[in-house]
Amino acid sequence: MILTDGLFLDHRRCPRRAHLNFYEPLEREAERGFLTKLRQESAAQVRTVLENFYPHSRELQSSQKDFLTRTNETVHLMQEGVECIANPNLLFEDSTNGVTFLGTPHLLIKVSGESIWGDWSYIPINIQLGRRPKPEYKLIASYYAYLLAKIQQKSPDYAQIILRKNNCYRVNLVEWLPRLERALSDCLAVLSKPQEPEVFISRQHCNLCHWYSHCYAIAQDQQHLSLVPGITPSRYKSLQSLGLSTLDSLVEASPSLLEPIFGRQVVSLLKLQAQSLQEKRAFIKSKHLHPQLPSSLWEFYFDIEAEPELDLEYLLGVLLVNTKTKELKYYSLLAESPQQEHLIWRQFLEIMEQFPTAPIFHYSEYEPETLKKLAYRYSTPTPLLDSLLKRCVDLHQQVMCTVIMPVESYSLKALANWLGFVWRDPGISGDQCVCWYDDWLKTGERSWLDSIVRYNEDDCIATYQLRNWLLDFLTAPNAN
């Protein structure tokens, strides 16, 4: 068995993904455009760091596909005492367990300290796109240190991570090597068995995976409890210990069985959510928690599209609604270049000032937080910002406080789809819009912007329809 750093990292994110990648039982889905974009940005980050800070590093000459030759070349450079080795291969064969460990850090840096080579040894450096040292970064850096210790017969004093903006972080190997050994043991145990690990759909981590459709179909067929909002991996393990693994079993379970583990409030919400999915209808959480939904002749529905890599809010989408005539007017405040962000911010303020009492409905905390950021960036008077924030109404918060809906996710798209709203471009997400905007900047092809605007307008209309449904549902005479 060959265990690469990539396969090990997959296991840390999802044991099932690592298993499917290792055994490849069927053809993978095509990689999502947003994931491709992240890979390209990560590669660009590595190139920038190497060129700007390690121009003297020695590059390997052999092909990256020929890992054995690259491994031998790496060892030869370490024997020579080369100061800095770029993109090396680290390989250790554990003949006892029949496992070959392979790692590819971005750099090896020569430091003083006795090793098999002489009075010098090496430490590993990995370059990451993130802004903070995530646990998975630390674990992979420890993996490289583990391999180096086997190869040079001297454990590195530390491993280093270079983050975005060239922030450096030293990994405490005394703390992380024991964690690494446990993680490696878990990974090898999973990969040694031909049976796939149980499916678990995670709303945060699964969407970009190339096995998502395969796993999701299995979860649906099994009525898997991971499809129930509120069922976390730890809660699922507790439910399994009680013999509960399907939607029907959770609905039928006695509260007295569950409450000692989860508490009365959590049990009530989980069972109501399962019942909602089972019966395909919505419920009111509490008759005493009706939201204070403002109503006005004029109302705004607001949604933003951003490019995180550029720290740019490039589209401020605003839907103006006349609640008396039901007339809708959509404003696409679009920055066709990053330098135009200040222009669309000014246009946004002008529209808001034309209707100073109109509430601003949105679906997440992102919109008001972005208003604060843009106001600070462009020196907007504090009283003006405060007046905007007071008019903001977060429909996500309103939904979560008041209703249970028969959905697997409380995203705007999931809720609006259940209400019957359909986006004009099926299967598109905000992540795809980020890729489209990058394509626009590279090519100047107007159709990319047109697609983004169409998607954003649909987001605004979906928010409007959700608000109308929520108000009608909560105020209906037979509301439960």
Same domain, 239 and 383: no
The pLDDT score that the predictor gives to residue 287 is 55
pTM, two decimals, is 0.87
Strands 327-334 vs 118-127: parallel, antiparallel or unpaired: unpaired
Look at residue 198 and tell me if it is in a domain.
no
Look at residue 48 and tell me if it is in a domain.
yes
Same domain, 17 and 145: yes
Same domain, 241 and 345: no
Same domain, 312 and 440: yes
Look at residue 200 and tell me if it is in a domain.
no
Burial environment of residue 475 by CB neighbours within 10 A (0 to 12, 13 to 18, 19 or more): exposed
335: region left, alpha or beta (phi > 0 left; psi from -120 to 50 alpha) = beta
Q: What are phi and psi of 299, to 5 degrees?
A: -135, 145
Look at residue 218 and tell me if it is in a domain.
no
Strands 118-127 vs 159-162: parallel, antiparallel or unpaired: parallel
The pLDDT score that the predictor gives to residue 392 is 96
The pLDDT score that the predictor gives to residue 341 is 97
Single-letter amino acid code for the residue at 449: L
For residue 362, the enclosing domain spans 298-475
Q: What is the pLDDT along the chain (480 residues), one digit of tens a residue?
A: 999 999 999 999 999 999 999 998 878 888 888 888 888 999 999 999 999 999 999 999 888 778 889 999 999 999 999 999 999 999 999 988 899 999 999 999 999 989 999 999 999 999 999 889 999 999 999 999 999 999 999 999 999 999 988 899 999 999 999 999 999 999 999 999 999 999 999 877 788 888 999 999 999 999 899 999 999 999 999 999 999 989 999 999 999 999 999 999 999 999 999 999 999 999 998 755 555 788 899 999 999 999 998 999 999 999 999 999 999 999 999 999 999 999 999 999 999 999 999 999 999 999 999 999 999 999 999 999 999 999 999 999 999 999 999 999 999 999 999 999 999 998 888 889 999 999 999 999 999 999 999 999 999 999 999 999 999 998 887 665
Beta bridge partners of 109: 84, 123
Same domain, 77 and 14: yes
Same domain, 256 and 140: no
Q: Which two tokens stand for residue 30?
A: 């095509």
Q: Which two tokens stand for residue 277?
A: 């999915």
Task: Quote the CA–CA distance of 346 and 265 in Å, as a whole number.
Answer: 46
Domain stops at, among 133, 167, 191: 191
Look at residue 216 and tell me if it is in a domain.
no
Same domain, 243 and 392: no
Q: Are the CB atoms for 214 and 206 separated by under 8 Å?
A: no
Same domain, 307 and 404: yes
The pLDDT score that the predictor gives to residue 97 is 84
- What's the CATH number where 27 sits? 3.90.320
Q: Which two tokens stand for residue 88?
A: 């090396």
Same domain, 349 and 445: yes
Task: Quote the CA–CA distance of 302 and 470 in Å, as a whole number.
Answer: 17
H/E segment holding residue 3: strand 2-4
Strands 90-94 vs 392-394: parallel, antiparallel or unpaired: unpaired
Number of domains in the chain: 3
